[in-house]
């Protein structure tokens, strides 16, 4: 382990030098200083807290409330379907209910709550004190909580979305859904996208950069592997639905016809983009749950996980494969059989990593002496239900069979088996398992068994008959049915047992409420788990000190770990800068690299989230004034937030404990900010790629009317000019970084100014180019696609120009210099992405017509 690092380029400082920032001691004073730095704000200021344990618990509680709300909708729908021809809910209400049930369960419950578990548990599983971007977690949470609540409450005003949770246009287009219901859906999804992308950035950087020293990739708890894959899938997959959403809203608000077949659009474009995300979405929900199961099993099997490497590889291959089988939601759309064969095979292939996981878990049970406690009951329930869901999954992946069961109650049964089996049962196992970690008290074993059996029996008896209901011809999303079709008994059974399932959930809720007073005290590590989270007290700073890790199962295999941790014999037993701190470690080796100072409580994230939510909601409802005020508040909050990053820090090493001194700042690829930007840019690239996909897809799908008749095709002159301008702007940014290293501030400033001018010039040229060609955004989907692509790139250039001005300002104020230059380098990353991508987009728009003709 390198103890001193060549962190500032030239200086190498030995430990013990006068320039090392020392905490006074590692004794009780150190603990006091830690407690002060990590203290929770009092009373209403709790909304300013950003620590992961705090945000994580709020996040999970909010997600669970949405689960209950959407569950009530399901029960009401089951009442309506209990008998043929009932008029308990009218058609409109029913349509809103099933749309909201799906939307809320998927976007406001399943995805957020697994992210929430990761936010809550990952830092302590990885042996660190917090996620690397606490304010980003807080922003994600508050945007989701406020936005989700607004969207859910649309039900009470009868303006809830009513197009089904996957919202196929043209039904959801401006012509057939003129009301704001669909906009509410887009709004809700917008918040989830914000929180999901925030979580993806947070999780990837957190897992790769802030682990305990010595925790190599191979020693990570398996949950971290699962979350890494999940976050990667969010990073790549979520942009597809963001793009689809943007295109839908452009069509609805501005009449840009992407999905309107009469104007050169294609409804299938939505389905491709939506399922390109929507299928991975299922695994985004399942993988974290599988990760949690893999974490819990060893505790109950009293044995190490069988096939750790297999499981990690299985998770990765699921991640990859999941992007190759979105078309299996589109088997009935009349696509050529050959391409369906490919997707059918790919869909079936995913059975292999799934099989590996199931058998690895079973082997773990065989390997040990299982102790049958409530969490293990839920895990066994999960294995049973999920296996059935997976097997019916193979059935629906069989193209011709899917022609029968697609969009019927068979599929309803299938995905409830997959999602409730694959996600809700593990989640309840996790609730029973980790609640003692958070509250310090155990949930009741007796009530837990009741909850499990009611849920297990209720679930199977409600959903197993639905397979037959579907095969006997009942399509999904119908609010009633005729009594002569042979579905009556099946529906009564499903309805009755859905209430049994709900009773199980209710018992859990009762247990959660009562255990705070009467629950048995948990004490340290009640399940004799092998993982690190039980060392943390889960309040404030979590670990007394951060222990070096030498094993995958540290609590089992590193004797004296708890004692050393409590005695402060690990890293960072103190707060050298008197603020919240965490270790940054190498992504592969887990070698300590840096101490980062983490932001503490502050209004920025809460204010930004609230203002964003209020602004978007007001905009959707057409309250322009409020929207503009809220937008301005949000803008100020975001700018203040950015301004407060890249703070002035002591140019010293700091004592990290155990005789190691580490720098407090890094201005290159070692820093978490740099990594965060890279993740964000990968997501951004996926958005741009989705727009490009829209352009190419529409062209190839509608060759007869693309491009529209009488259109003058774009030439190469302007694209070349724009590309050249952008390229020069980028090069100037690179030069600015070099000049800044030599402290040539005037020349650096000049580079910034010229790149702003060039970016502006490029935008102006592009604008006049499109106008000159007579390409209109609303007449034909060709124009809409071109304008969207170039508009996106113009936005990138504008942001790039804004970054140049930002750097210019900070340079002028002395906030950028040759050492403190992370801001400049992160902006440089933006340009390194924007310039080549702009050129590629232009090349495609100018060149593709020639390729086709």
Which residues, 92 to 151, sit near other proteins by CB under 8 A? 92, 95
The DSSP annotation for 319-338 comes to HHHHTT-GGGG-GGG---HH
Q: Which of 306, 672, 793, 824 binds other proteins (CB under 8 A)?
A: 306
> Which of 283, 286, 481, 733 touches other proteins (CB under 8 A)?
481
Interacting positions 307-326 with other proteins (CB under 8 A)? 307, 310
Among 402, 533, 581, 646, binds other proteins (CB under 8 A): 402
Please say which residue, 349 or 731, places its beta carbon nearer to other proteins.
Answer: 349
Residue carrying the six token digits 């390194």 = 832
The CB-of-277 to other proteins minimum distance in angstroms stands at 19
Longest dimension (CA), the chain: 89
In angstroms, give the least distance from the CB of 496 to other proteins: 18
Residue 453 or residue 819: which is nearer to other proteins going by CB?
A: 453
The answer to the question of residue 174 lying near other proteins (CB under 8 A) is: no
Compute the least distance from the CB of residue 695 to other proteins, in Å. Answer: 17
83 lies in the binding site for other proteins (CB under 8 A): yes
CA 378, 379, 381, 384: dihedral to nearest 10 degrees? 170
**Rg of the chain on CA atoms, in Å:** 28
| Alpha helix ranges (H) inside 25-107 | 28-37, 52-82, 91-103
Nearer to other proteins, 218 or 473 (CB): 473
In sequence order, what are the beta bridge partners of 655?
661
Q: How far is the CB of 474 from other proteins (least distance, A)?
A: 8
The interface region with other proteins, picked from 122-130, 147-155, 238-246, 391-399 by CB under 8 A, is: 391-399
Cα separation, 138 vs 561, in Å, equals: 32
CB-neighbour burial class of residue 650 (10 A; exposed 0-12, middle 13-18, buried 19+): middle
- Where does residue 600 fall: left (phi above 0), alpha (psi -120 to 50 degrees), or beta otherwise? beta
Q: If you search the block for the tokens 């005729």, which residue do you land on? A: 482
Is 727 near other proteins (CB under 8 A)?
no
Among 75, 79, 171, 457, binds other proteins (CB under 8 A): 171
Is 198 a binding residue for other proteins by CB under 8 A? The answer is no
**Segment interacting with other proteins, rule: CB under 8 A, options 71-79, 137-145, 474-482, 618-626:** 474-482
Q: What is the C-alpha separation between 446 and 435, in angstroms, rounded?
A: 16
- Closest to 480 (Cα-Cα) out of 166, 163, 89: 89
Angle in degrees, 0-180, between the axes of helices 781-812 and 717-741, rounded to the nearest 10: 20
Check the CA dihedral 393-398-399-401 and report its sign. negative
Nearer to other proteins, 562 or 702 (CB): 702
CB 268 to other proteins: min, Å: 7
Q: How far apart are CA 290 and CA 566, in angstroms?
A: 31
Among 103, 210, 299, 408, binds other proteins (CB under 8 A): 408
Q: By CB under 8 A, is residue 488 in contact with other proteins?
A: no
Which is nearer to other proteins, 61 or 478 (by Cβ)?
478
Q: Quick one: which of 290, 365, 826, 839 contacts other proteins (CB under 8 A)?
A: 365
Question: Judged by CB, which is closer to other proteins: 363, or 720?
Answer: 363
Candidates 1, 61, 68, 478; binder of other proteins (CB under 8 A) is 478
Q: What is the DSSP letter of 8?
A: S
Residue 654 in contact with residue 664, Cβ under 8 Å? yes
| DSSP-derived secondary structure for 751-783 | HHHHHHHHHHHHHHHHHHHHHHHT--TTT-HHH
Identify which range of 38-46, 85-93, 745-753, 790-798 contacts other proteins by CB under 8 A.
85-93
Q: How many CB atoms lie within 10 A of CB 628?
A: 13
**Number of residues counted as binding other proteins (CB under 8 A):** 93
Chain positions 323 to 362 lying near other proteins, rule: CB under 8 A, are 332-334, 337, 340-341, 344-345, 348-349, 351-352, 354-360, 362
Minimum CB distance to other proteins, residue 240 (Å): 20
Distance CA 814, CA 412 (A): 61
Q: By CB under 8 A, what part of segment 443-472 binds other proteins?
A: 467-468, 471-472
Candidates 11-19, 122-130, 131-139, 302-310 — which segment interacts with other proteins by CB under 8 A?
A: 302-310
Q: What H or E segment, with its residue span, contains residue 596? A: strand 592-597
Q: What are phi and psi of 661, to 5 degrees?
A: -110, 135
Query: Which are the contacts of 731, defined by CB distance < 8 A and separation ≥ 6?
Result: none
What's the min distance (Å) between Cβ of 359 and other proteins? Answer: 4
479 touches other proteins (CB under 8 A): yes
The owner of tokens 């190691």 is: 660
Are the C-beta atoms of 161 and 103 separated by less than 8 Å? yes
The interface with other proteins within residues 547-606 (CB under 8 A) comprises none
Backbone phi, psi, residue 248, to 5°: -65, -45
Q: Which is nearer to other proteins, 177 or 612 (CB)?
A: 177
| 476 is an interface residue for other proteins by CB under 8 A | yes
The yes or no reply on residue 380 touching other proteins (CB under 8 A) is: yes
Part in contact with other proteins (CB under 8 A); list of ranges 131-139, 169-177, 273-281, 434-442: 169-177
Q: Residue 709 interacts with other proteins (CB under 8 A)?
A: no
Nearest to 415 by CA among 381, 388, 453: 388
In the bound state with other proteins, the residue whose beta carbon lies nearer, of 387 and 551, is 387
Q: How far is the CB of 90 from other proteins (least distance, A)?
A: 8
CB of 96 to other proteins, least distance (A): 11
Q: Which of 450, 468, 445, 304 is nearest to 373 (CA)?
A: 445
């Amino acid at each position: 382990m390198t103890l001193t690092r060549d962190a500032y380029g030239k200086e190498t400082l030995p430990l013990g030098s006068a320039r090392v920032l020392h905490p006074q001691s590692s004794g009780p004073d150190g603990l006091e200083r830690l407690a002060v730095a990590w203290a929770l704000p009092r009373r209403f200021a709790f909304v300013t807290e950003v620590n992961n344990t705090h945000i994580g618990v709020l996040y999970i509680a909010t997600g669970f409330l949405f689960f209950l709300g959407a569950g009530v909708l399901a029960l009401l729908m089951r009442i309506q379907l209990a008998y043929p021809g009932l008029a308990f809910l009218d058609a409109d209400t029913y349509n809103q209910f099933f749309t909201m049930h799906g939307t809320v369960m998927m976007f406001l419950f399943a995805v957020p709550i697994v992210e929430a578990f990761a936010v809550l548990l990952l830092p302590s599983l990885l042996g660190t004190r917090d996620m690397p971007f606490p304010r980003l977690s807080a922003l994600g949470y508050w945007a989701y909580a406020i936005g989700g609540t607004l969207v859910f409450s649309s039900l009470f005003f009868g303006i809830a979305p009513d197009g089904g949770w996957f919202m196929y246009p043209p039904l959801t287009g401006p012509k057939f859904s003129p009301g704001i219901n669909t906009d509410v859906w887009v709004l809700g999804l917008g918040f989830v996208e914000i929180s999901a992308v925030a979580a993806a950035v947070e999780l990837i950087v957190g897992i790769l950069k802030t682990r305990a020293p010595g925790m190599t990739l191979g020693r990570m708890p398996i949950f971290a592997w699962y979350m890494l894959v999940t976050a990667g899938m969010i990073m790549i997959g979520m942009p597809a639905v963001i793009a689809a959403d943007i295109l839908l809203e452009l069509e609805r608000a501005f009449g840009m016809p992407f999905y309107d077949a009469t104007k050169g659009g294609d409804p299938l474009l939505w389905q491709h983009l939506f399922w390109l995300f929507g299928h991975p979405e299922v695994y985004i929900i399942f993988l974290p749950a599988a990760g949690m199961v893999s974490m819990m099993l060893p505790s109950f099997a009293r044995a190490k996980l069988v096939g750790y490497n297999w499981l990690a590889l299985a998770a990765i291959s699921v991640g990859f494969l999941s992007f190759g089988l979105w078309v299996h939601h589109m088997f009935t759309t009349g696509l050529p059989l050959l391409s369906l064969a490919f997707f059918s095979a790919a869909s079936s292939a995913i059975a292999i990593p799934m099989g590996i996981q199931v058998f690895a878990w079973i082997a773990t049970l065989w390997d040990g002496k299982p102790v049958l406690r409530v969490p293990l009951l839920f895990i066994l329930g999960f294995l049973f239900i999920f296996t059935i869901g997976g097997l019916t999954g193979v059935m629906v992946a069989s193209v011709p069979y899917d022609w029968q069961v697609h969009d019927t109650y068979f599929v309803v049964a299938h995905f409830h088996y997959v999602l409730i089996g694959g996600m809700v049962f593990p989640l309840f196992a996790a609730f029973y398992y980790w609640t003692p970690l958070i509250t310090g008290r155990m949930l009741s074993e007796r009530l837990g068994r009741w909850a499990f059996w009611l849920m297990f029996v209720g679930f199977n008896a409600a959903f197993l008959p639905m397979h037959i209901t579907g095969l006997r011809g009942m399509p999904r999303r119908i609010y009633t049915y005729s009594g002569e079709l042979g579905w009556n008994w099946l529906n009564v059974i499903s309805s009755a047992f859905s209430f049994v399932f709900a009773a199980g959930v209710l018992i859990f809720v009762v247990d959660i409420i009562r255990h705070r007073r009467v629950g048995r005290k948990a004490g340290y590590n009640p399940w004799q788990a092998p993982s690190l989270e039980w060392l943390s007290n889960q309040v404030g700073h979590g670990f007394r000190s951060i222990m070096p890790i030498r094993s995958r199962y540290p609590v089992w295999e590193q004797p004296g770990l708890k004692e050393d941790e409590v005695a402060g014999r690990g890293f960072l037993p103190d707060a050298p800068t008197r603020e919240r701190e965490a270790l940054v470690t190498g992504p592969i080796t887990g070698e300590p690299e840096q101490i980062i100072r983490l932001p503490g409580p502050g209004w920025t994230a809460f204010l930004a989230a609230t203002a964003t939510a209020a602004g978007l909601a007001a905009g959707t409802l057409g309250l322009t004034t409020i929207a503009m005020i809220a937008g301005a508040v949000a803008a100020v909050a975001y700018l203040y937030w950015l301004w407060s990053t890249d703070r002035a820090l002591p140019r010293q090493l700091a004592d990290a404990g155990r005789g190691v001194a580490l720098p407090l700042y890094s201005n290159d690829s070692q820093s978490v900010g740099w990594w965060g930007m890279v993740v964000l840019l990968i997501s951004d690239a996926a958005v741009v790629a989705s727009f490009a996909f829209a352009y190419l897809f529409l062209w190839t799908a509608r060759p007869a009317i693309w491009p529209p008749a009488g259109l003058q095709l774009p030439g190469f002159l302007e694209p070349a000019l724009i590309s050249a301008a952008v390229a020069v702007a980028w090069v100037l940014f690179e030069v600015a970084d070099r000049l800044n290293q030599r402290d040539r501030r005037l020349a650096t400033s000049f580079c910034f100014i010229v790149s702003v001018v060039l970016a502006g010039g490029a935008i102006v040229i592009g604008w006049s180019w499109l106008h000159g060609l007579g390409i209109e955004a609303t007449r034909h989907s060709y124009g809409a696609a071109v304008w969207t692509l170039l508009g996106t790139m113009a936005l990138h250039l504008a942001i790039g120009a804004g970054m140049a001005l930002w750097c210019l300002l900070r340079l002028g104020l002395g906030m950028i210099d040759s050492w403190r230059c992370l801001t400049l380098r992160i902006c440089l990353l933006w340009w390194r992405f924007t310039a080549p991508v702009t050129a590629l987009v232009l090349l495609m728009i100018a060149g593709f017509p020639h390729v086709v003709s």
